[in-house]
Amino acid sequence: EVQLVESGGDLVQPGGSLRLSCAASGFTFSNYWMFWVRQVPGKGLVWVSRIDNAGSRTSYADSVKGRFTISRDNAKNTLYLEMNTLRSEDTGVYYCARYGDYVTGFQHWGQGTLVTVSS
């Protein structure tokens, strides 16, 4: 069974930094692109970042470009999101997600980790 478990969410002041992790199990992690999606409580979903299976290609939403860095450690089956210069609008639940097999949609999601940026 595919499992994605996020951690690292916390209350942080504006301008601060945080690193999120997503531990993957139940599948061959190194075979899949991975994604981060954010949801402000009570609001919609926003794609944040993605990384290819080898970790060599990444892309970001404009709102986080230059401040967030996605990475992965295939030996540890773990996805990361390094978040710097945090702003109040970065507040939300951060999900890691994966497409299904032969399914072009996010079929697998973690439970999410809450990041609150506030003074």
Residues that bind other proteins (CB under 8 A): 43-47, 50, 59, 61-62, 95, 100, 103-107, 109-112
| Minimum separation from the CB atom of position 75 to other proteins (A) | 26
Q: Can you tell me the distance from the alpha carbon of 113 to that of 95, in angstroms, rounded to the nearest whole number?
A: 7
Give how far Cα 46 sits from Cα of 63, 64, 90, 92, Å. Answer: 10, 11, 11, 10
| Minimum separation from the CB atom of position 113 to other proteins (A) | 11
Closer residue to other proteins (CB): 3 or 13:
3
19: tokens are: 């690193």
| The amino acid at 11 | L
| Minimum separation from the CB atom of position 72 to other proteins (A) | 17
